[in-house]
Structure 1
Amino acid sequence: MRSFELALATLCLAIAPALASLHAQEAPSPGGPPPASDAPPPKPVEGLETETLKVTVNLVNVYFSVRDKNGYITNLHKDDCAILEDKNRQTIKNFTQEKKLPLTIGILLDTSGSQQNVLPLEQQAGAEFLKDVLTPKDEAFLISFDINVDLLADYTNSPREIQRAMDKASINTGAGTGSVTGNSNPRGTLLYDAVYLAANDKLRQEAGRKILVLLTDGGDQGSQETLKTATEAAQKANAIVYVILIADRGFYGNYGLVYSGAGDMERLARETGGRVINVGNNGKKLQEAFDQIQDELRTQYLASYTPTNTKFDGSFRTLNISCGKDTKVQARKGYYAIADNAGN
């Protein structure tokens, strides 16, 4: 009997590996290699490339608002508007009203000597504007410019944090140690440097709606950048520039200076889809200016299209948007055709 049991145990031990091997072939363990196949691999098709096909789609995004004699129009649809790029009509793919799209706001505060008597107005109205506009999904930053360009508050969605930084801003007319633009001995008001840095360094890589609000008298002295390069930087970042012209005209009269910043600011705002609001040194008008900007942000549309000109050669393409008779469209005047540029 013992010999029979021993023989049976020996037989089971001999069969077990074969059963395990058979089981492994029928049901491979999860994550393991697939079962072997006797089928020969498929032959490559002659002339067929096996490399991964990469498709790049470059959408041009245009934010704009539309007004008629009764105010902003908020019920437009895709078929109501037409977009021309270099006079060639484009096919609009997406068309939405962007009330809730995340918003990135850069506040640029002029703290040069000419703003001595109006800075408190700017601080109060600017803080109220951000308090009304910013939501938890939005972000803002604050830059001051005078003989230097300084980042007073980096990206935050806290109006209080921006307000604290704004309240600490002060007039700077003394000799500086240099600006972040590289000027070794800056003098004057580095307005264009501030716009360039805000657009190129802060906004260009951001998505969604982007605006710059300048509180300034429009005068620039000493910038390395120019009106042209500052405007180009804003256009490449797809940033809308609003200029609130606020000036202590008495400052100019006392020093025998000529106030001439309005014309350049008109061009900067117009080319980027924004506008200039002249408030002088009137606190009530300043508050109304911020209210107007807020209204525009709530009534903006976003239109997207793939340009018929597929060459992304860095050239400037002019844009013209129309939305019916007796309407006025406020939008940027063009864009730079840069491939895979989030700023388009």
Structure 2
Amino acid sequence: MAKPMRARFSRRQLLSSTAALLCASSRLRGQDDATFSTEIKVVNLLAVVRTKKGEIISGLSKNDFTILENARPQTIRYFSRETNLPLTLGLMVDTSMSQHRLLDAERSASFHFLDRVLRENTDQVFLMQFDMAVMLRQALTSSRSQLEDKLAYVDTPTRNELALQRGGGTLLYDAVFQASREIMMSQRNRKALIILTDGVDTGSDRTLSDAIEAAQRADTLVFSILFSDPGAYDFSLGEPNGRRVLERLAKETGGSFFEVSKKQSIETVFSLIEQELRSQYSLGFVSDQPVRVSEFRTLQLNTKLKGLVVQARDRYWAQR
């Protein structure tokens, strides 16, 4: 007789416990719904401020800036002049045949730049090369030695590789698209791509607009460096105006365009990029416009001070 009593008691206990769990689950779901409905999405911008002569200005405060989103004023909630924020960099090197005679200089300048800029255990860098294919030489790392080792292997295609591909190619747009979508999208630090190329794309599946949009969605600046060899044979049948391509990549992502010339060496260009990275302002706002549909929204960051020019991206992807 004792066993049935225990069994009946057990069933009552089970029913009581189940009811309690359902009530608790209901309360938890209510908490989850409340959390979801009040989720705060911060829109972050990185900016550099210059005089009209190009001199970088530091020392500005939050009150010196204004932000418009879709032409509507927004309140700047977060502001920092700190240059110690973690940095995620992508170093991307054009290794098509037109760049063959420039690679030694590119490798040397790249390593010295990383040696000065990279803070081990704080910053991360990946190394990518592109020609008739896109190749990730080194995944994200904080190790200078790993990057130096992999830079040594950045080179133009062999004759056998060219023969297999029936000629050359420069998948610039594909490289920017892949770097942005597959690497930068998941990163949450300051993000920038540094691209060494003559700007001529041949053979990419993606367009220039695709590449720019991917970088914008990943909140990634592009520093484009036009480095061309006037004596190189033109293997390409692609976009002839490399300058125009690289200027667009930089301008529409909030980065900068540079050109290596007799007056400005590759080492000088890297020094200018280093200075810019160390002089960025970080600003953030929470939009007062609900995101009902995922879309691009325009941004306009200005300073209240006369005679200064603000360099920042002009739109962002508002994710629902």
Settle same-fold status: TM greater than 0.5: yes
Select 2:296's aligned residue among 313, 316, 319: 316
Question: Does 87-96 or 167-176 show the bigger shift?
Answer: 167-176
Tell me the residue number matched to 1:90: 74
Q: SS where residue 94 of structure 1 aligns?
A: strand
Tell me the residue number matched to 2:107: 123
Identity %: 37
Question: Does 247-256 or 128-137 show the bigger shift?
Answer: 247-256
Q: Distance in 1 between matches of 2:44 and 2:218?
A: 11
Q: Distance in 1 between matches of 2:211 and 2:235?
A: 30
CA contact (8 A) 1:112 1:173 kept: no
- 1:292-316 per-position Cα deviation (integer Å, ceiling 9, x unaligned): 1100111101110011221252211
- 254 and 227 in structure 1: CA distance in 2 versus 1, 3 angstrom threshold: closer
CA contact (8 A) 1:193 1:230 kept: yes
Tell me the residue number matched to 1:164: 149
Q: Residue 252 of structure 1: CA displacement?
A: 4.5
Select 1:51's aligned residue among 2, 12, 30: 30
Q: In the alignment, residue 63 of structure 1 is paired with which amino acid?
A: L
- 309 and 172 in structure 1: CA distance in 2 versus 1, 3 angstrom threshold: same
Q: SS where residue 116 of structure 1 aligns?
A: helix
- 258 and 185 in structure 1: CA distance in 2 versus 1, 3 angstrom threshold: closer
Q: Distance in 2 between matches of 1:256 and 1:49?
A: 61
Question: Does 206-215 or 309-318 show the bigger shift?
Answer: 309-318
Tell me the residue number matched to 1:211: 192
Q: Residue 71 of structure 1: CA displacement?
A: 1.9
Q: Residue 223 of structure 1: CA displacement?
A: 0.5
Q: SS where residue 30 of structure 2 aligns?
A: coil
Which ranges of structure 2 fall in alignment gaps of 5 or more residues?
1-19
Question: Does 184-193 or 194-203 show the bigger shift?
Answer: 184-193
Q: SS where residue 303 of structure 1 aligns?
A: strand
- 117 and 78 in structure 1: CA distance in 2 versus 1, 3 angstrom threshold: same
Larger proportion of helix: 2
Q: Residue 283 of structure 1: CA displacement?
A: 9.6
Measured on the aligned residues, the alpha-carbon RMSD in Å equals 2.8
Q: Distance in 2 between matches of 1:254 and 1:138?
A: 37
Which ranges of structure 1 fall in alignment gaps of 5 or more residues?
1-40, 178-183, 340-344
- 113 and 71 in structure 1: CA distance in 2 versus 1, 3 angstrom threshold: same
Select 2:283's aligned residue among 296, 303, 307: 303
- 98 and 265 in structure 1: CA distance in 2 versus 1, 3 angstrom threshold: same
Structure 1 segments (4+ residues) deviating >6 Å: 253-258
The 5 Å alignment of 1:55-204 reads: 55-68=38-51, 69=53, 71-136=55-120, 137-172=122-157, 174=159, 176=161, 187-204=168-185
Which of 1 and 2 has greater Rg?
Answer: 1
CA contact (8 A) 1:146 1:173 kept: no
Q: In the alignment, residue 302 of structure 1 is paired with which amino acid?
A: S
The count of corresponding residues between Structure 1 and Structure 2 is: 289
